[in-house]
Every structure is written in C-alpha cells, then in structure tokens.
Structure 1
Amino acid sequence: MTGTSPMTRTTARRFDPFDFLARYGTLIALLLLILFNLVFTRNFATIQTLNVNLTQVCTIVIVAVGMTLVIATGGIDLSVGSLMAISGALAPMIFLGKIMPIGNIYLAVAAAMLVSIAVAGLFGLFNGWLISAFRIQPIVATLVLFIAGRGIAQVMTNGNLQTFRVPQFQFIGLGRVLGIPVQVILMLLIVLAAAWMLKRTVFGRQIIAIGGNERAAELSGIAVARVKLLVYAISGLCAGLAGLVVIAINSSSDANLVGLGMELDAIAAVAVGGTLLSGGKATIIGTLIGAMTIQLVRYTLLANGVPDAAALVVKAGIIILAVWIQQQGRAHA
C-alpha cells in the first residue's frame, strides 16, 4: 500500500515555519545577538556589560509584565508611563516629609513605597473600571490617564525637579545583594510570579479565555469585569514600582520625564516576545526575552558606532517583523 501514513501526515502538518518562528524566533535572535557580540564587540563578555544591559531593561520588563496581562485580555494600557510619573512624584514627597513628617527614615521610605505603588494601582483600577463598567475601548480609556496622569504628577510637584540622597530608598535602584543589582532581583521575582500565575492558576486561565473570546468566557461563568479590574490594577502596580526604581537610580524625580515613552517600550517588548496583540495568548518569559532582545539590538548598534536614531529605526523594524510573523502564524494555524 502506497502513500503517506496518517502519523506521517499529522507530523508533517504540525510543522509550520511561521509557527516555529512565532514561538522561538525571538529566543534565536537573542542568542545570535549574544554570539555576534561575543565575536565582534569588545569587552562584551564582562560582568559590567551584563549589568549595564540588565539594569537598562529592568524597568521596561517590570512594566511589560503588567502590559502582557492587559494585552492577553485583548486590551491595552497607554497610561503606564504617566503612572510611573505619579508614583515617582509622590514617593519623595513622603520620605522627604513634604506631606507629613515621619521621624524614622525607614518608616518614611516604607510608607513612600507602599503608598506610591498603591496609588498607581488605584489609578490602574480606575482604568479597569472605565473599561468594564462603561464598555469604553481600552485605548480610549487609558488615553485619559496617559494625558491627565502626567499633568497630575506635574501639579503635585509644581513642575519642579525633586532631588534627594536617601540611601535607604535608593537601595531598590542602586543596591546589590550578593553582587546582583536589586532591581534585577525585583524584575526576576515579578517575571517568575506572573509566569506562574498565568500558567498555573484559575485567574491566569481566565485572562487567556477572555482575550480569546470574551463573550464565550462570560457565558461560561467567568466574572469578566472583575478579571479586567484586577488586570489593569496589576498593570498600575507594576508601573508604580518601575517609577520608584527609575527615580532611585537617578537620585531625582522629574514629573516631565519619568516614564516618558515607557508605554511604547512595554508594548514593543510584549509584541516581540510573542504575545498576540489581539489577546488570547500570552507569554511572560517571552516578554522578558523580547525586552532583552530589543535592548541588546540597541546596545549592539551603539557599541559598533551606529547612531541611536538608527537604532530606533531598527527597533521599529523588529516590531513590524514580529507582528507580521504572528499574523502569518495565525493564518497558517
């Protein structure tokens, strides 16, 4: 009897180059970039270079983790940069005693961190409320705080730069534990926690179900509004923490600059990492790899004499390519 066996046909049908690229393309690109730099870039294989690249990508990854969850539901969050600015503006006002003097610096720093992150989370909850209660499109709902949020931060500080030198607070941006930057540890903890939640919990499966088919998820008994509220709150919390890390590194808070353009960097990391921008599929580890790939592309170009403006163009091209591969993978599925 001639012909291809059913098992062979199934195996052949399962292999799709676009699907393979959608799954592993970013990881392959990252490995090739590392190999290229090991061969052609001076001083690449040093702890200092590793630290530089990791610390520059940390805040993007922290924000992008929240963005991944939002996009997995079929939404988007344009407000993350402004929420970073609000958190970054509020924290110094608390630990410097501008709102209410707190005698113990450790209590002041703890209060500044908790309150600032919580406020950003509440603003994220506000985004979720607009989307779930009023059925406003996410891009429109989050555009409200994209515009107003930075204005709130500027009003809080009267548009003034807040400088400080408080080692107890700056530890989250400049400190090290066993030689590892604290911000890298925070990033990895958030990535691992979010990846576990997305894969191993009912809440994670509900997020994916809503992004895949919101109406079907609702009919199956999933509390869609509650899930969306929580997802946007988590995105706000991540943005709030990232804002604190940024001002801790800079030893200052500028409401005009903190988080500026972060929403675009976060979305880029999510897209390049393999999460479908239409929702229904998400990968936190992919987001981490996507952010690292974009950062390493920029580093590679700069280290080899290519202007930063050209690096931005290349980054845009990478995003277009990643989205195209996703579309092809879905078309061939």
Structure 2
Amino acid sequence: MKRKKFKLGWRSLWNPNFGAPAALLILYIANAVFTPRFATVSNTLNMLLQVSTTMLIAIGMTFVIASRGIDLTVGSTMALVSVIVALLIKYGIFVAVSFALSAALLVGFLNGFLISRLKLDALITTLAALILWRGIAQVVGDGKLVPFTHPTFEALGKGYLLSIPIQVVIAGVVIVGAFFCIHSTLFGHQIVAVGGNEEAARLAGIRAERVKYIVYLISALLAGLAGLIETARLGMGDPSKVGVNAEFDAIAAVVVGGTPFSGGRANVLGTVVGALLMQVISTSFNMLLIPFTWSLVLKSVIILFAIFLPRNRV
C-alpha cells in the first residue's frame, strides 16, 4: 500500500483561509511604507466608506454563488432603486424607500422564478435581466439625473455614528448577520447543501427551489440597500451611472475570498477580505497617480490566481 505524500508548495498558499488575507496584509504594509499618507485613519475610513456598498452586494452574491448560481442584475437593481427613491422622496422617506426596496425584491423574485422554477440558466437569465432593468431605470428616470434634497435620507450616505460612517456600520451589521446565517442556521446549511449537490439536497428533504428563491431575494435586497446608500451619498438618482460594473466587483470579491463558482461553500469573511483587497489596490493606484487601467490588470491577475491555484493543489 502506497503512502500518500503530503505536498506543500506555492500552490498551497492561496486557499480560502490564508491566501486572500495574506495578500491584503502584504499590500497594506507595502503601501504603508511606500505610499505617502496611505496608512492614516482618515484614508482607512475613506477606503471603508468606498468599499461598503461593494461589500453589501458581494455578501448577497456570496449566498447566490454558494447555491451554485450567479446574479448579474445587482448593478441594474441599484440603478432602478436609485431613480425610484429620488423620484418619490418628495412624498416622504417611508414611501420612497418602501417602493424602491419593493422594486428590488421584484427583481429578485423574477430571477428566482426564472432560475428555480423554469430552470433557465442563471448566467444567461441574469445577463438579460441586467440589460432589461438598467433600461427600465433609464426609462423611469427619462435618462436624466434626478436631484433631490432630503437631509434625513442623505444621512444614510453621508452621516456618521460615533465617528464611523453610517454605511460602514450598516455593512458591518450585514456581514455579522450573513456570517451567523451561513454558520449557525438551518437555512445557511441548506444553501451550502443545494450548491454542493442539488439532487442529494432534494433527497434529504431540502426544498431547493425555495432556497434559490430566497438567495436571489437576499441578493436583490442587499443590492437595493446599496443603491439607497449610493443615492443618498450622491444626493441624486442616476440611472446611467449608479451600479455600473457593480456585479463584477462583487463577483471578484467573492471569488478572491474563496467561495467557489462550483457552489457548496460560502466564505463570508473571505468575501469581505476580497472586497478590501480590491479597494486597497484601487486606492493605492489612485494615490500613486498610476492610471486606473493598470489597477484593472492587477485585479484580473489576482482573480485568475484565486481561481487557478486551488484547482491545481494536490
């Protein structure tokens, strides 16, 4: 009987629990040394401020990908929510937010229906929906910016709680809630089970269709919340710019953080680290006056490493 050899090589360095945090730490320390004013409290808070909405949609994307799905509609959902809340805020914050989040939930419900009930391919379905909802957002907003003035609502994107930006606090609460859901609730275990082997999950009594409905609703709701925050920060609804490429930032954070496209595993903290890693790259390139396009190249390389290395570990 042959003894199994234990191999530890450079391919082992990137795993869901070590690779992304190590890369984040190395990049942060390197920038603290070589980038002036990078490691200041104000700059760190600014990075957290900028990445908070990405974290929200990335957490929702983690749930979807863990169930072996994909949701490309999150950016368009943000745009739809943005224009609706901007148009309705004159009728009161409750009315505007209620209608805006209801629209987001509608997007999630339709995604869930088409993918779980009609068995359509998640990638193609949400790609088509991405175009559809962005178009509807532009029609509703007449393709224009929708400015408004509402100090209470704007505090959602500009306010502070004990010197911490409110949107950072919201992201923190969502992260804690998502971590608890995945690791300590029956529904969290069902998501992982459905993503790992849907047929086996059905045989075990799990209602896979129901699970998929809920993860797409969660993704849409968090995208809607991100849209509200972004709109409050800008002080206007922008159906053309809000949420552009948000889905790709979210997917990058999820993949780099260790949640595989094949489903069956959800690494919430890894997603947070992945989002922070991408933000550190963007901020450092901006502070060093390096063209933004080069940051995209580096991000792409990191994403490829995150996908390639685990598949080749022995």
Please say if 1:129 is aligned against 2:130: no
Among 6, 14, 21, which residue is 2:14 paired with? 21
Distance 1:14 1:314, change over 3 A: closer
Letter in 2 for 1:32: I
1:239 maps to 223
Alpha-carbon distance in structure 2 between the residues aligned to 1:19 and 1:314: 21
Change beyond 3 A, Cα 1:72–1:19 = farther
- Percent of aligned positions with the same letter in both sequences? 40
Q: Which amino acid aligns with 1:316?
A: S
Q: Verify: 1:81 aligned to 2:65, yes or no.
A: no
Cα offset, 1:122, TM superposition: 2.0
Q: Which residue of 2 aligns with 1:48?
A: 42
Deviation at 1:16, TM superposition (A): 7.0
In structure 2, how many angstroms separate the alpha carbons of the residues matched to 1:284 and 1:64?
9
1:316 to 276, 300, 303: 300
- The 1:294–1:168 alpha-carbon spacing in structure 2 relative to 1, beyond 3 Å, is same
Q: Which residue of structure 2 aligns with residue 295 of structure 1?
A: 279
CA change 1:55–1:79 in 2 (3 A) is same
SS at match of 2:149: coil
> Which segments of 5 or more consecutive residues in structure 1 lack a partner in the other structure?
1-8, 98-107
Kept after mapping to 2: 8 A contact 1:72/1:208: yes
CA contact (8 A) 1:66 1:236 kept: yes
State how far apart, in whole Å, the 2-side matches of 1:15 and 1:317 are: 22
Q: Distance in 2 between matches of 1:122 and 1:239?
A: 12
SS at match of 1:77: coil
Distance 1:214 1:328 in 2: 25
Match of 1:163 in 2: 147
Contact 1:276 1:326 in 2 (8 A): no
d(CA) in 2 for partners of 1:203 and 1:278? 19
In structure 1, the residue matched to 2:56 is: 62
Q: Which has the larger radius of gyration?
A: 1
Pick aligned residue for 1:181 from 165, 173, 181? 165
**Structure 2: unaligned runs, 5 residues or longer:** none
Please name the residue that 1:217 is paired with. 201
1:117 corresponds to 2:101? yes
Match of 1:227 in 2: 211
* 2:278 pairs with 1:278: no
Measure how far apart 1:21 and its partner are. 2.0
Asked if structure 2 preserves the Cα contact closer than 8 Å seen for 1:297 and 1:311, the reply is: yes
Do the aligned partners of 2:255 and 2:261 also contact (CA within 8 Å) in 1?
Answer: yes
Which residue identity does 1:77 align to in structure 2?
Answer: D
- Who is 1:39 aligned against? 33
Cα distance in 2 between the residues matched to 1:204 and 1:14: 33
- Determine the C-alpha separation between the residues in 2 that align with 1:237 and 1:252: 20
Q: How many residues align?
A: 312
Q: Normalising by structure 2, what TM-score? A: 0.95
- Alignment correspondent of 1:143: 127
The SS at the match of 2:289 is: coil
Aligned equivalent of 1:94 = 88
Opposite residue 69 of structure 1, the aligned amino acid is F
TM-score, reference length from structure 1: 0.90
Task: Give, in whole Å, the separation in 2 of the partners of 1:207 and 1:18.
Answer: 28
1:274–1:326 Cα contact (<8 Å) kept: no
What is the alpha-carbon distance in structure 2 between the residues aligned to residue 16 and residue 235 of structure 1?
A: 37
Runs of at least 4 residues off by over 4 Å: 14-17
